[in-house]
Structure formats: C-alpha cells, structure tokens
C-alpha cells in the first residue's frame, strides 16, 4: 500500500473548482477555474553568512489575484519590518538590514494574505514561510 504524503503548509494550496449549471431541459454548462494560491519562494539568506547586514529576499506571488505590499508582513527575529520593497509585477520582495545583526541565529517570517472578487465570487489565499540564517562570528 503506498504511503500518503502529508502537506506541511509549504507553498500554495491550489484548489480547482468545477461548477456545473443545469437548465430545466437537461442542458448544462460547466465552468472550471482555480482559486487563490499564494506562493513564497526564493528565500535568502539561508545557512551561515559572513556579513552582519544582509538583504533579505523572497518571491511572493498570488496565482488567484493581485497581491500588494499592504497584503504582506515581514518579521525579523519576531519584530515586524515595514520598510521593505515589494515589486507587484515580479513578486520580488527585499529588505536591507540597516543595523548590524549580532552573531548567531536569526529568524525570518513572511506572511501574505489576499482577497479578490469577481462575478464568480470571493477568492482568498494565504501563505506563511519561516526560515533561519546564522551570522558568523
């Protein structure tokens, strides 16, 4: 018996929806569309780094709608950072760490949540990515 793989909240969860409308005489129309799917990829830095003022980067995209900077939260060591750059067209996010980080492990977290509506209804998506890097002594 094959083992089932369990999702652990990594990347987008895309859902396909099929809607079939049936009219009185048996004719029907089927429409399929994909609901929201936010992905957070390309996260850096990771592992051990030499500099104490890195630039944190990621690609944050929404397959189901338009994501903007106001839909994204960035945390460094538990503190929310609002002075990051986000390019809506490319999905590129960057944050330059202005004050030197002390040697040791540091944690980054990105949360993105967006909603969009159309004539088919409301579509929403949510994603969170956490990772660590270590500033060398």
Q: What is the mean pLDDT of residues 27-45?
A: 73
Checking if the pLDDT of 33 tops 60, the result is no
How many residues belong to the chain?
Answer: 137
Domain coordinates in residue numbering, the chain: 36-135
Q: What is the mean pLDDT of residues 13-21?
A: 50
Residue identified by tokens 């009219």 is 23
Checking if the pLDDT of 48 tops 70, the result is yes
Closest of 59, 53, 44 to residue 99, by C-alpha: 53
Average pLDDT, the chain: 81
Closest of 66, 67, 98 to residue 82, by C-alpha: 98
Q: Could you read off the pLDDT of 83-133 as tens digits, one per residue? A: 999 999 999 999 999 999 999 999 999 999 987 655 555 556 899 999 999
15 — pLDDT class (breaks 50, 70, 90): very low
Ramachandran area for residue 121 (φ above 0: left; ψ -120 to 50: alpha; else beta): left
| CATH node for 36-135 | 2.60.40.1220
CA dist list (Å): 110 to 20, 53, 117, 118 = 37, 19, 24, 27
Share of the chain above pLDDT 90, in %: 60
Q: Please check whether residue 49 is in contact with residue 136, taking contact to mean a CB–CB distance below 8 angstroms.
A: yes
């Amino acid at each position: 018996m094959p083992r089932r793989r369990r999702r652990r909240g990594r990347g987008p969860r895309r859902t396909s929806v099929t809607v079939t409308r049936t009219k009185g005489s048996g004719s029907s129309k089927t429409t399929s569309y994909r609901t929201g799917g936010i992905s957070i990829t390309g996260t850096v830095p990771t592992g051990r780094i030499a500099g104490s003022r890195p630039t944190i980067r990621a690609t944050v995209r929404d397959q189901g709608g338009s994501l903007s900077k106001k839909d994204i939260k960035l945390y460094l060591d538990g503190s929310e950072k609002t002075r990051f750059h986000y390019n809506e067209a490319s999905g590129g996010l960057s944050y330059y760490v202005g004050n030197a980080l002390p040697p040791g492990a540091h944690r980054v977290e990105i949360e993105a949540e967006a909603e969009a509506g159309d004539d088919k209804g409301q579509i929403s998506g949510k994603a969170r990515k956490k990772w660590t890097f270590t500033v060398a002594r």
